[in-house]
Amino acid sequence: KGGKKKKKPSNNKPLMQTKNEHKSVVLKIIKHYQEEGQGSEVVQGVLLGLVVEDRLEITNCFPFPQHTEDDADFDEVQYQMEMMRSLRHVNIDHLHVGWYQSTYYGSFVSRALLDSQFSYQHAIEESVVLIYDPIKTAQGSLSLKAYRLTPKLMEICKEKDFTPEGLKKANIGFEHMFEEVPIVIKNSHLISVLMWELEDKSTVADKHELLNLSSSNHLEKSLQLLMDRVDDMSQDIVKYNTYSRNLSKQQQQKHQYLQRRQQENAQRQSRGEPPLPEEDITKMFKPPQPPPRMDTLLIAGQINNYCQNVKEFTSQTLGKLFMAEALQGHNN
Amino acid sequence: MSRFFATGSDSESEESSSADEITPKAPGTTFKQSLLLSDDEEDTKRVVRSAKDKRFEELTNLIKTIRNAMKIRDMAKCLEEFEQLCRAFLKSKTIVDKEGVPPFYIRLLADLEDYLNQLWEDKEGKKKMNKNNAKALSTLRQKIRKYNRDYETEIAAYKENPQESADEEEEKEPEESGSSSESEGEAGDEGVTAKVFLKKKPAAEATSEASKFLKSAKGSGDESSSSDEDDDDGEWGSDTVGSGSESSDDGEGKSASLAVVFLKKAQEGEKTSEKKKDVRKKRHKKKERLEEEAEEEGGEEAEGGWEKVKGGVPLVKEKPKMFAKGTEINTAVVVKKLNEILQARGKKGTDRAAQIELLHALAAISQENNLGQGILVKIKFNIIASLYDYNPNLAAFMKADMWKKCLDCIDELLDILFDNNNIFIGENIAEDSENLGISDQPFRVRGCILTLVERMDEEFTKIMQNTDPHSQEYVDNLKDEGRVCGIIDRLLSYLETKGSTEEICRIYLRRILHTYYKFDYKAHRRSLGLQGETKSEQDQEESEGEDSAVIMDRLCKFIYAKDRTDRIRTCAILCHIYHHALHSRWYQARDLMLMSHLQDNIQHADPPVQILYNRTMVQLGICAFRQGMIKDAHNALLDIQSSGRAKELLGQGLLMRNMQERNAEQEKIEKRRQVPFHMHINLELLECVYLVSAMLLEIPYMAAHEFDARRRMISKQFHHQLRVGERQPLLGPPESMREHVVAASKAMKMGDWRTCHSFIINEKMNSKVWDLFPETQRVREMLVRKIQEESLRTYLFTYSSVYDSISMETLSEMFELELPTVHSIISKMIINEELMASLDQPTQTVVMHRTEPTSLQNMALQLAEKLGGLVENNERVFDLKQGVYGGYFNRDQKGGYQQKQGYQRDQKGGYQQKQGGYQRGGYRNQNQSNY
């Protein structure tokens, strides 16, 4: 069965350093996407495994079935439980250790992901989310990343305080929302043998997917997505701007009111009258509803993610282009 | 009307003739009208009475139900009805104020109170009553007590003498029973004021009933009925001995045979009316309250007497009988008579048909007696005027036959006017300075022929508006347009010699309005050249006439020079432009439009002129299209088409809208503005022209600005059509005109001009659209050429990135254009910096520079722009924070600071923009230099 590697730190230090993965899990995820996902559609599934020392070993997985709006009575949780029970019967690892999701040009940082990962991590402390990028994989390099929410973010999510003040106090930026966990993939020997054999058999063209020089399509898509996010961000900022302007205006009014009240009281005092009763100022000046800032944070994270992607992609492509140029120069 | 006629009375002939005339109409109306004619003043009276009647009838009905409820002791019902009665009584307050409180009302109040008291006392009965009734009883009792306080005196008066009223009541119940008995009963009830009102209603009913069987009896029945009417009038106004006698007299008449009635009247007409006069006088004395009314009646009675008598002998048909036998018929008498007839005009009850007949008869008399043309003209004027009056409602249209009669009349009038040079007509001639009789001086007649003709023309339009345009009737009606034009032409030549410039302007405008929308086939044929010569004799003759263009020019120029009212000039200009445009004189039309500056202030004009303006713009656009000025065509049509209400804007039909936006009144007005069908502009043609021009403009533009983020649309409508086309799940071969254009646009997008051509010009489209143009072939050729050119441009825009160079010869082959044309198109594109390329002369090739940013680059630019916006927004947040700190304690400072910041930001923004521009330019430059 599955091989295992690095250590998971002791329990009081919940940062997971490594995660082991079984090759069959990777293949299953890839297969799942190939079969069911297309375009920007996203496929999801459950990861099973166990914690060994300071590492998390993922030894199995199963997909969430696609289900349409029609069968509303489909119970996902029920399905999961059923599935896990069945797996237990055949004596396979059945402990729930997280979930996986495919991504489209690196867009996965969303509220939905945050929420479900939070609930996973809240319930099962060692949960991870595996993000599989089929497009990058198709270009020749397997892209699989494991993420966990940072303890800080967990705190915030627990408190559900997404106001600007709350986030400020928590001192969290988009960089500190997720932490990536290194992945090590282990194969059984039989599979390794099979892989070697396959590689031997495959044609040259298949192997040089990696050397594909075309770039504009990928970049265009990325830019398009990036632009959308930037637009969202702009909107959010405008919203926030209005909010803070309203807030400051109100503060001013409040201040003026207080001053007036003070003056009046002073006058009354000089005349020997009792001061005016204190009124509930917060009632008079209801502060405007602060816009939730979590989304902005997520968008920033997403933008960051896109940028990383583009950067990675361009650096690789540039390298390839130089190589191609050199080759051509050599040929000439 | 003079008493002489009333008594002298041998003008029966008219009445009879009018009765004859009317017979084809529905008998009911005949009766009513002749009845009404007999004395119109009574009619005005009738209005009052009918209002009163209505109210009183309402009251009596309510009273009846109350009495019924009383009988069955239904107190709840009683209460309900009583409340209604009070309300109804309040409503009829005005009448009550005039007439006094109606006695039957008082009676009810008294009775009801008594009854209630009685019930109240009856403890036994009360106990038996159910809860509802008991409750109602107490409420009602309180109410009526309070209410009756206001009428104490009347009730007291009634209680003194309840007997008569009781009689009354009995009479009232069998309302349908013979009227004679009732009138007798009435006669008995002298001296009781209360009675009068009660009687009034039955009396009126009696009248109607009498008239009912009179009508069925014979045509002459109307006489007696009218006399009835008179008597009734007298009666319900009065309670004198005189009226009593009269009504009894009347009752006799009714119960006796009809023949007796009018026999008696005919013989004793004079006597009767004299008697009536007496009666009237008595009334005057006796009744101050109804003084006015009575006076009216007196007058009307006299008038009625005249006509009544004349109607009494229906079979006498001699025309001269309009005047007393032996009366010397001279101008003065005829004029007097004319005035007499005319006085009835416009009054409610006047039988208009009869009046027209009277006038005709008068005209015949005056002609017979050689009274000269002056009087004849005068009468003719009046005949036409009353023909127009025939329809009291301005919105309704004249019947075609009436209108034709009118046409004949005008024709005759014009004949007279042409024959007699010494007749002066005009609106400004005062009634008393008219000269109708003295033939050695020029005749002077008041009246305006121009107005009559204008009205006639308007009626023609109305008739056309109200005829189903797809019926034979419409065609038949339309044939009369020739006559209308003929009359207008005649009047035009008449007025040219006699009329003032204003009148000439007006008649010119009429002429123009009948000319501007017609395509001049003669001139067209002539301009085509020799074909005309081979035509037959008749054709030759036809083509002798002046070109409509020349006529239009002459008339319009006169108006431009002489007109002083803005409206006529505006209309003339628009018609002139329309005419030019219709005949493809594009430059003249355009120049006239631009010179007139109508576009600036047309929104202040009235709706009909605006409709004309819209029509003109559309015609201008279509003209531009025919001439190949696609852009101009598009611009001219844009306003009309973009709103999607072309139909409404051109006055060619109403759009379905919910009634909230427009009530029935507005709808009527809008309907009146509609352009008659034969003047319509084909809407499909209009839309097709618009869409095709939009296609020829938009497709190359779209190809050129494919990556432009802020690409504007030339034509929203066209885009809409494209989107509709895209949304189709399954694309079949195009059916409608729109689908054809959409399919053609798609082909053109790919630079495939042949397919585009086949979509735009094929049999379907020919029959739908292109064949509607006068010069079909030329238009089609132009269109093909445009399609080729624009397809070439589109092709170059779309595929230039694929080519390094392309030979012009290939292009010219591909698009079947001559080399020079291709050369010129490409040169133009290069000069306009639409195409980054250069021409290589020796090899005749276009060499692409490939400097257009790729889509990725475009995207990057867009992203940069967006990021700029983001940064700006972010800075604003920062500013605010700063501002808050800076200004919390010192607002002045803060404001200043913010302002400064704002300034800086603006500057920065400007700089950034400029930078962006530079970057793009720089990018291009760089690339070019690289090349």
Q: How many CA atoms lie within 13 A of B616 on its CB side?
A: 27
Which residues in chain B touch residue A224, judged by CB atoms under 8 angstroms apart?
Answer: 859
Separation of alpha carbons B785 and B822, rounded Å: 12
Separation of alpha carbons B549 and B519, rounded Å: 10
**Nearest CA among B837, B844, B749 for reference residue B793:** B749
What's the gap in Å between the CA of B868 and the closest CA on chain A?
10
Arithmetic mean of pLDDT, B601-611: 86
pLDDT at residue B623 in the model: 92
Highest mean pLDDT range out of A32-41, B135-144, B307-316, B573-582?
A: B573-582
Question: pLDDT, tens digit, for every residue of B35-84?
Answer: 444 444 444 444 455 666 777 777 788 888 888 877 777 777 777 877 88
Arithmetic mean of pLDDT, A213-235: 85
Lowest-confidence pick of A244-258, B95-109, B547-561, B783-797: B95-109
Dmax over CA atoms of chain B, in Å, equals 129
pLDDT at residue A177 in the model: 83
What's the gap in Å between the CA of A248 and the closest CA on chain B?
7
Arithmetic mean of pLDDT, A319-324: 88
DSSP letter, residue A211: G
Residue B568 has pLDDT above 80, yes or no: yes
Residues 6 or more apart from A159 whose CB is under 8 A from it? A166
Q: Please tell me whether residue A61 adopts helix, strand or coil conformation.
A: strand
DSSP letter, residue B530: G
Whether B866 and chain A come into contact, CB under 8 Å, resolves to yes
pLDDT at residue B578 in the model: 92
Residues 6 or more apart from B696 whose CB is under 8 A from it? B630, B786, B787, B790
Arithmetic mean of pLDDT, A58-83: 75
- The minimal CB distance from B877 to the residues A230, A244, A251 is found for A244
Nearest CA in chain B to A248: B884
Whether B156 and chain A come into contact, CB under 8 Å, resolves to no
Question: pLDDT, tens digit, for every residue of B892-924?
Answer: 443 434 444 433 344 343 333 433 333 343 333
**Nearest CA among A14, A54, A306 for reference residue A149:** A14
H/E stretch holding A88: helix A76-89
Arithmetic mean of pLDDT, B225-250: 42
Lowest-confidence pick of A43-57, A279-293, B24-38, B126-140: B24-38
What does chain B come to in residues?
931
**CB distance B620 to B636 below 8 Å:** yes
What's the gap in Å between the CA of B914 and the closest CA on chain A?
22
If one compares B424 and B623, the residue with the highest pLDDT of the two is B623
Residue A184 has pLDDT above 80, yes or no: yes
pLDDT at residue B577 in the model: 92
Distance of CA B713 to the CA centre of its chain: 39
Region for B537 from its dihedrals, namely left if φ exceeds 0, alpha if ψ lies in -120 to 50, beta otherwise: alpha
Whether A233 and chain B come into contact, CB under 8 Å, resolves to yes
What's the gap in Å between the CA of A278 and the closest CA on chain B?
23
Mutate to test the interface with B, among A168, A230, A256 (most CBs of B within 10 A): A230
DSSP letter, residue A104: B
Phi first, then psi, for residue A50 (nearest 5°) are -160, 160
**CB distance B396 to B365 below 8 Å:** no
Whether A219 and chain B come into contact, CB under 8 Å, resolves to yes
Separation of alpha carbons B725 and B199, rounded Å: 77
- Judged by CB atoms closer than 8 Å, whether chains meet at A230 and B855 is answered as no
Q: How many CA atoms lie within 13 A of B901 on its CB side?
A: 17
pLDDT at residue B587 in the model: 92
Structure tokens belonging to residue B107 = 């009676």
- Split at pLDDT 50, 70, 90, the class of B657 is low
Residue B187: C-alpha distances to residues B158, B194, B208, B241, B251 (Å): 19, 14, 19, 9, 10
The residues that bridge with B425 in the sheet, in sequence order, are B445
Mutate to test the interface with B, among A224, A227, A239, A254 (most CBs of B within 10 A): A227
CB atoms within 10 A of CB B718: 24
Which residues in chain B touch residue A223, judged by CB atoms under 8 angstroms apart?
Answer: 856, 859-860, 863
- Split at pLDDT 50, 70, 90, the class of B165 is very low
What's the gap in Å between the CA of A48 and the closest CA on chain B?
41
Which residues in chain B touch residue A231, judged by CB atoms under 8 angstroms apart?
Answer: 866
Which residues in chain A touch residue B888, judged by CB atoms under 8 angstroms apart?
Answer: 251-252, 255
If one compares B161 and B414, the residue with the highest pLDDT of the two is B414
The residues that bridge with B805 in the sheet, in sequence order, are B847
Whether A80 and chain B come into contact, CB under 8 Å, resolves to no
The residues that bridge with A146 in the sheet, in sequence order, are A130, A181
Q: At what angle do helices B548-562 and B501-513 cross, to 10 degrees?
A: 140
Whether A224 and chain B come into contact, CB under 8 Å, resolves to yes
- Split at pLDDT 50, 70, 90, the class of B621 is very high
Lowest-confidence pick of B111-115, B523-527, B653-657, B894-898: B894-898
- Split at pLDDT 50, 70, 90, the class of B222 is very low
Amino acid letter at B173? E
pLDDT at residue B439 in the model: 58
- The minimal CB distance from A238 to the residues B863, B873, B884 is found for B873
Residues 6 or more apart from B887 whose CB is under 8 A from it? B893, B894, B895, B897, B898
- The minimal CB distance from A227 to the residues B856, B866, B888 is found for B866
Residue B183 has pLDDT above 60, yes or no: no
Compute the Cα dihedral for B387, B388, B391, B396 and give only its sign.
positive
pLDDT at residue B824 in the model: 92
Arithmetic mean of pLDDT, B698-725: 82
If one compares A54 and B292, the residue with the highest pLDDT of the two is A54
Separation of alpha carbons A235 and A299, rounded Å: 11
- Judged by CB atoms closer than 8 Å, whether chains meet at B870 and A230 is answered as yes
Nearest CA in chain A to B856: A220
pLDDT at residue B825 in the model: 92
Which residues in chain B touch residue A227, judged by CB atoms under 8 angstroms apart?
Answer: 859, 862-863, 866
| Interface predicted TM-score of the whole assembly (ipTM), two decimals | 0.77
Mutate to test the interface with B, among A165, A218, A232, A248 (most CBs of B within 10 A): A248
Structure tokens belonging to residue B659 = 């009634």
Separation of alpha carbons B624 and B586, rounded Å: 6
Separation of alpha carbons B503 and B495, rounded Å: 7
Question: pLDDT, tens digit, for every residue of B878-895?
Answer: 877 766 444 444 444 434
Residues 6 or more apart from A47 whose CB is under 8 A from it? A25, A58, A60, A61, A96, A97, A98, A99, A100, A128, A130
Residue B759 has pLDDT above 50, yes or no: yes
Lowest-confidence pick of A223-227, B346-350, B762-766: B346-350
**CB distance B331 to B437 below 8 Å:** yes
Question: Across chain B, what does the average pLDDT equal?
Answer: 70
- Judged by CB atoms closer than 8 Å, whether chains meet at A227 and B862 is answered as yes
Question: pLDDT, tens digit, for every residue of B823-842?
Answer: 999 999 999 888 888 888 88
Phi first, then psi, for residue B621 (nearest 5°) are -65, -45
Residue B867 has pLDDT above 60, yes or no: yes
Whether A155 and chain B come into contact, CB under 8 Å, resolves to no
What's the gap in Å between the CA of B929 and the closest CA on chain A?
22
Which residues in chain B touch residue A251, judged by CB atoms under 8 angstroms apart?
Answer: 884, 888
Distance of CA B830 to the CA centre of its chain: 57
Residues 843-862 of B with CB under 8 A from A: 854-856, 859-860, 862
Separation of alpha carbons B876 and B887, rounded Å: 16
If one compares B920 and B389, the residue with the highest pLDDT of the two is B389
Phi first, then psi, for residue A22 (nearest 5°) are -85, 140
DSSP letter, residue A102: E
Arithmetic mean of pLDDT, B448-460: 83
Mutate to test the interface with A, among B873, B874, B879, B891 (most CBs of A within 10 A): B873
- The minimal CB distance from A237 to the residues B859, B870, B888 is found for B870
Hunting for tokens 């020829």 — which residue is that?
B696
Which residues in chain B touch residue A303, judged by CB atoms under 8 angstroms apart?
Answer: none
- Split at pLDDT 50, 70, 90, the class of B789 is very high
Percent residues over pLDDT 70 in chain A: 87
Separation of alpha carbons B117 and B334, rounded Å: 71
Lowest-confidence pick of A25-39, A162-176, B519-533: B519-533
Separation of alpha carbons B816 and B752, rounded Å: 12
By the 10 Å C-beta count (0-12 exposed, 13-18 middle, 19+ buried), A297 is classed as buried
**Nearest CA among A177, A139, A297, A168 for reference residue A232:** A297
Rg over alpha carbons for chain A, rounded to the nearest Å, is 27
Which residues in chain B touch residue A220, judged by CB atoms under 8 angstroms apart?
Answer: 855-856, 859
**CB distance B12 to B199 below 8 Å:** no
pLDDT at residue A298 in the model: 87
Arithmetic mean of pLDDT, B394-408: 76
pLDDT at residue B911 in the model: 38
If one compares B540 and B503, the residue with the highest pLDDT of the two is B503
- Judged by CB atoms closer than 8 Å, whether chains meet at A245 and B854 is answered as no
Arithmetic mean of pLDDT, B808-819: 90
pLDDT at residue B218 in the model: 43
Residues 870-929 of B with CB under 8 A from A: 870, 873-874, 876-877, 880-881, 883-884, 888, 891
CB pairs under 8 A between A and B: 50
pLDDT at residue B889 in the model: 41
- Judged by CB atoms closer than 8 Å, whether chains meet at B859 and A223 is answered as yes
Residue B809 has pLDDT above 50, yes or no: yes
What's the gap in Å between the CA of B781 and the closest CA on chain A?
44
Arithmetic mean of pLDDT, A167-178: 79
The dihedral over CA atoms of B214, B215, B221, B227, expressed in degrees to the nearest 10, equals 70
- Judged by CB atoms closer than 8 Å, whether chains meet at A223 and B863 is answered as yes
If one compares B285 and A306, the residue with the highest pLDDT of the two is A306
**Nearest CA among B1, B12, B16, B3 for reference residue B324:** B12
Hunting for tokens 């959010």 — which residue is that?
A236
Question: pLDDT, tens digit, for every residue of B662-684?
Answer: 667 777 777 778 888 888 888 88
pLDDT at residue B883 in the model: 60
Structure tokens belonging to residue B910 = 């400007």
- Judged by CB atoms closer than 8 Å, whether chains meet at B866 and A230 is answered as yes
Nearest CA in chain B to A259: B889
Nearest CA in chain B to A238: B873
- Split at pLDDT 50, 70, 90, the class of B709 is low
What's the gap in Å between the CA of A238 and the closest CA on chain B?
6
Q: Please tell me whether residue B850 adopts helix, strand or coil conformation.
A: coil
Residue B807: C-alpha distances to residues B148, B799, B802, B928 (Å): 110, 14, 14, 21
Whether A165 and chain B come into contact, CB under 8 Å, resolves to no
Lowest-confidence pick of A145-149, A299-303, B376-380, B717-721: B376-380
Mutate to test the interface with B, among A168, A217, A218, A233 (most CBs of B within 10 A): A233
Nearest CA in chain A to B874: A237
Residues 6 or more apart from B411 whose CB is under 8 A from it? B483, B487
- Split at pLDDT 50, 70, 90, the class of B788 is very high
- Judged by CB atoms closer than 8 Å, whether chains meet at B870 and A224 is answered as no
CB atoms within 10 A of CB A258: 11
Residue B519 has pLDDT above 80, yes or no: yes
Separation of alpha carbons A6 and A15, rounded Å: 13
Which residues in chain A touch residue B880, judged by CB atoms under 8 angstroms apart?
Answer: 241, 244-245, 248
**Nearest CA among B847, B842, B795 for reference residue B816:** B795
If one compares B466 and B205, the residue with the highest pLDDT of the two is B466
Question: pLDDT, tens digit, for every residue of B574-605?
Answer: 999 999 998 888 999 999 999 888 888 888 88
pLDDT at residue B415 in the model: 83
Question: pLDDT, tens digit, for every residue of A259-303?
Answer: 888 888 888 888 887 777 766 666 777 777 878 888 888 888 888
Phi first, then psi, for residue B823 (nearest 5°) are -60, -45
Arithmetic mean of pLDDT, B228-255: 42
The arrangement of strands across the sheet holding A183-186 comes to A178-181, A144-149, A128-132, A96-102, A44-52, A55-63, A18-22, A183-186
Nearest CA in chain B to A227: B863
